[in-house]
């Protein structure tokens, strides 16, 4: 019990990943948490959930990483999973212009589900995955312009080549921790503990790699 109490004294930061199906969200998460790359496409059914302890400026935090489904038929189950999120990674495939174009819709969905008090302050990172691909369709300049408008941080990387994966998640952890501390009054129930109980319905909200 003592170990469990010590574990929960560390900030638990909820990071959600959003983006079209096939952009590599699961691969990015698996590379970071389990240090492996599986070159096999499968559609995430609902959500994948992994945790990892990381250090942010000398402080230990627990990242709860939620890989949400990228297909529309599963989006309806995601409302409760966004409750209490502290940061979002919007992931697109640099070799897919369609996945980049979809970022506007994913951002709208994020803000609708999370419903932050001040949307402009909610931490947002955009990940351009699959830089190992030769048939690039989205330039760095395009992605940076979109991020400048939305106030997001842009990071390019490759889950396959393990490029900027750790950096992206550590940046997300740092941003999530700052958001957690700035909104500490609202974070008493910010993270979901896994149990066999069905998630409760969330209140309706307002407002995509």
pLDDT mean over 149-156: 97
Dihedral class, residue 84 (left if φ above 0, else alpha if ψ from -120 to 50, else beta): left
Sign of torsion, CA 185 186 187 193? positive
pLDDT mean over 177-205: 58
Cβ proximity of 26 and 127 under 8 Å? no
The pLDDT value recorded for residue 157 is 97
pLDDT digits (tens, 9 = 90+) for 104-142: 999 998 998 888 889 999 999 999 999 999 999 999 999
pLDDT mean over 47-61: 89
Q: Measure the CA–CA gap between 104 and 150, rounded to whole angstroms.
A: 9
The pLDDT value recorded for residue 130 is 97
The pLDDT value recorded for residue 42 is 53
User: What CATH superfamily classification does 2-186 receive?
Assistant: P-loop containing nucleotide triphosphate hydrolases (3.40.50.300)
Average pLDDT over the chain reads 82
Closest CA to 130 of 100, 97, 160, 88: 160
Residue 47 pLDDT > 80: no
Between the ranges 16-30, 40-54, 175-189, where is the mean pLDDT highest? 16-30
Domain limits, the chain: 2-186
DSSP label of 163: B
Closest CA to 86 of 168, 12, 193: 12
In this prediction, residue 49 has a pLDDT band, given cuts at 50, 70 and 90, of confident
């Amino acid at each position: 019990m003592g170990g469990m109490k010590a574990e929960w004294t560390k900030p638990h930061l909820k990071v959600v990943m959003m983006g079209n199906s096939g952009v590599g969200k699961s691969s990015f998460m698996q590379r970071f948490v389990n240090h492996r790359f599986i070159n096999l496409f499968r559609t995430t059914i609902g959500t994948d959930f992994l945790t990892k302890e990381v250090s942010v400026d000398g402080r230990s935090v627990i990242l709860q990483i939620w890989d949400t489904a990228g297909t529309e038929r599963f989006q309806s189950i995601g409302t409760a999973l966004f409750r209490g999120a502290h940061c979002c990674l919007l992931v697109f495939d640099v070799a897919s212009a369609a996945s980049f174009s979809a970022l506007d819709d994913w951002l709208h969905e994020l803000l609708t589900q999370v419903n932050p008090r001040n949307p402009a302050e909610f931490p947002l990172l955009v990940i351009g995955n699959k830089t190992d691909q030769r048939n690039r369709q989205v330039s760095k300049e395009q992605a940076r312009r979109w991020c400048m408008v939305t106030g997001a941080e842009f990071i390019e990387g490759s889950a396959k080549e393990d490029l900027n994966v750790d950096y992206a998640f550590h940046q997300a952890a740092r941003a999530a921790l700052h958001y957690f501390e700035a909104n500490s009054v609202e974070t008493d129930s910010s993270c979901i503990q896994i149990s066999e109980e069905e998630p409760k319905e969330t209140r309706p909200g307002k407002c995509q790699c």
